[in-house]
């Protein structure tokens, strides 16, 4: 069974998830009035706690780290704190396994270039046709370095199945690169099963965790992966990315570094200066989630360094459960509107997806759907979702693509119903 497909019920049995109350913590949602943000897969909104952390950094210590005066030491302390909190968020073994940077794509490229220098007899790389192009093209470029590629194909249900990975693995496999969750279809991959198979063959596994990040608990030890990348701006933080890597794997990884940087993680991974204020925001985003988890668990007080990971995991477990309700409601609405839904749409398999839906309305171009939604104050997205190869598998045009509605925990069933009204009117008008 998919390790990520559990029931995901709330922390306290029977407790209602406080989506409406949480919306008050997101200034953009309050200022937006009746605006509905269903484009969260492209970037989520941020809570006040995060905005305060970013502002505090820019006002109080917007300086370079590594100096001797108080403001620069405050930057050093903030980065250390953020590294520890993100490590707790993903259940890393040590903070040094976390590297900060521009975005997830840049980290995929960094790792792929390093892997390309260490191929040798193990020159086979397994990629999938379900992934975002960032986790495909960055590997395919290694063909010029002697890499050979095998495709782990999704099935007609829009999901990757571990049984299909097994026959692709050989003693020549260097790494398997796959997504935790499709940014287009919302399908969740059983990455632990994939990791077990890859490691049994002597290979490594690289996970794109960007889309799963805001939807459920990330536990790199339970996943038994070797690398994982995420984007902070999907997890209620500003624009930034982070890489987790197994420490001993990062130690061996050949990377560019300036001479004065120690040849050890995380410094050897973090080339140049990154956006410190956005890292401060990521730290605060973990704090927001930890506070939520602590509240839902009924524990008094604020999270501390010892409880942060467990509190954040509790929040993500509760979010996973609530979002299954959103998935069921969205799937029902789309069926009633006569939409063609791509990927997993059976209610019995709701635990194998997140509330991200790609669909089309018969005879109506995706662009027209998103324009009609925009006129009604609802943000959707149309196109190939940065997954053109997936569009080919779905049998839809890369140029027109599909419509995507992507929900997170501050969205509500009432918002889903409003979208349903727009789609129903659009169908009636032809």
The topology under which CATH files domain 52-285 is 3.40.640
In tens, the pLDDT along 32-48 reads 999 999 999 999 999 99
- 3-class SS of residue 376: coil
214, HSE (Cβ side, Cα atoms, 13 Å): 29
- Would you say residue 186 has pLDDT above 50? yes
- Would you say residue 13 has pLDDT above 70? no
* Among candidate residues 106, 108, 133, the one with its CA nearest the CA of residue 398: 133
Lookup: tokens for 399? 């140029």
- Would you say residue 4 has pLDDT above 70? no
Instruction: Give me the pLDDT at residue 109, please.
Output: 96
Mean pLDDT (whole number) for 11-34: 86
Instruction: Give me the pLDDT at residue 137, please.
Output: 97
Q: How far apart are CA 167 and CA 182, in angstroms?
A: 22
Q: Please state, for a pLDDT cut of 90, what percent of the chain lies above it.
A: 92
Instruction: Give me the pLDDT at residue 260, please.
Output: 86
Q: Please state, for a pLDDT cut of 70, what percent of the chain lies above it.
A: 96
- Would you say residue 9 has pLDDT above 90? no
Instruction: Give me the pLDDT at residue 416, please.
Output: 98
DSSP per-residue string spanning 233-265: GGTTS-S-EEEEE-HHHHHH------TTS-SST
Mean pLDDT (whole number) for 206-225: 98
Model pTM score: 0.95
Mean pLDDT score of the chain: 95
Same fold flag, 19-47+323-424 and 52-285: no
Mean pLDDT (whole number) for 263-274: 92
Structurally, at CATH architecture level, domain 19-47+323-424 sits in: Alpha-Beta Complex (3.90)
Res. 3 pLDDT band, cuts 50 70 90: low
- Would you say residue 10 has pLDDT above 50? no
CA distances from residue 335 to 87, 115, 166, 297, 420 in whole angstroms, order as listed? 40, 44, 35, 35, 10
Mean pLDDT (whole number) for 77-99: 98
- Would you say residue 5 has pLDDT above 80? no
In tens, the pLDDT along 308-339 reads 999 999 999 999 999 999 999 999 999 999 99
- Using the structure block, give the residue that is written with the tokens 């040798």: 120
Instruction: Give me the pLDDT at residue 7, please.
Output: 40
Give residue limits of the domains in the chain.
19-47+323-424, 52-285
- Using the structure block, give the residue that is written with the tokens 């590297």: 99
Instruction: Give me the pLDDT at residue 365, please.
Output: 97
- Would you say residue 12 has pLDDT above 60? no
Instruction: Give me the pLDDT at residue 8, please.
Output: 39
Mean pLDDT (whole number) for 271-294: 96
């Amino acid at each position: 069974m998919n390790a990520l497909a559990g029931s995901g019920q709330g922390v306290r049995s029977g407790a209602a998830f406080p989506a409406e109350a949480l919306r008050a913590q997101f200034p953009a949602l309050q200022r937006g009035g009746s605006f509905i943000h269903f484009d969260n897969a492209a970037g989520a909104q941020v809570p006040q706690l995060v905005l305060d952390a970013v502002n505090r950094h820019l006002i109080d210590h917007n300086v370079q780290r590594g100096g001797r005066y108080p403001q620069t030491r405050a930057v050093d302390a903030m980065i250390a704190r953020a590294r520890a909190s993100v490590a707790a968020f993903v259940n890393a073994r040590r903070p040094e396994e976390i590297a900060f940077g521009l975005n997830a794509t840049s980290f995929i490229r960094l790792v792929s270039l390093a892997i390309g220098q260490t191929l040798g007899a193990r020159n086979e790389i397994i990629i999938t046709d379900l992934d975002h192009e960032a986790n495909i093209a960055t590997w395919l470029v290694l063909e010029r370095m002697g890499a050979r590629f095998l495709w782990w194909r999704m099935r007609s249900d829009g999901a990757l199945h571990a049984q299909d990975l097994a026959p692709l693995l050989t003693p020549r496999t260097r790494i398997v690169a796959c997504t935790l969750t499709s940014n287009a279809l919302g399908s969740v991959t059983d990455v632990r099963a994939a990791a077990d198979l890859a490691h049994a063959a002597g290979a490594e596994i690289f996970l794109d965790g960007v889309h799963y990040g805001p939807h459920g608990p990330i536990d790199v030890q339970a996943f038994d992966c070797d690398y994982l990348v995420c984007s902070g701006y999907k997890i209620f933080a500003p624009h930034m990315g982070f890489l987790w890597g197994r420490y001993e794997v990062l130690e061996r990884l050949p990377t560019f570094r300036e001479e004065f940087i120690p040849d050890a993680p995380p410094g050897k991974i973090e080339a140049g200066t990154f956006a410190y204020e956005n890292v401060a925001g990521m730290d605060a985003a973990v704090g927001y989630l930890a506070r939520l988890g602590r509240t839902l668990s009924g524990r008094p007080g604020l999270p501390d360094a010892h409880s942060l990971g467990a509190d954040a995991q509790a929040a993500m477990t509760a979010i996973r459960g609530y979002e299954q309700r959103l998935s069921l409601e969205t799937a029902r609405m789309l069926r009633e509107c006569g939409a063609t839904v791509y990927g997993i749409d059976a209610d019995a398999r709701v635990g194998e997806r997140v509330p991200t839906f790609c669909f089309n309305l018969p005879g109506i171009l995706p662009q027209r759907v998103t324009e009609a939604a925009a006129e009604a104050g609802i943000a959707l997205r149309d196109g190939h979702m940065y997954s053109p190869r997936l569009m080919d598998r779905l049998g839809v045009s890369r140029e027109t693509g599909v419509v995507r509605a992507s929900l997170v925990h501050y969205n509500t069933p009432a918002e889903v119903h409003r979208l349903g009204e727009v789609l129903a009117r659009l169908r009636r008008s032809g």
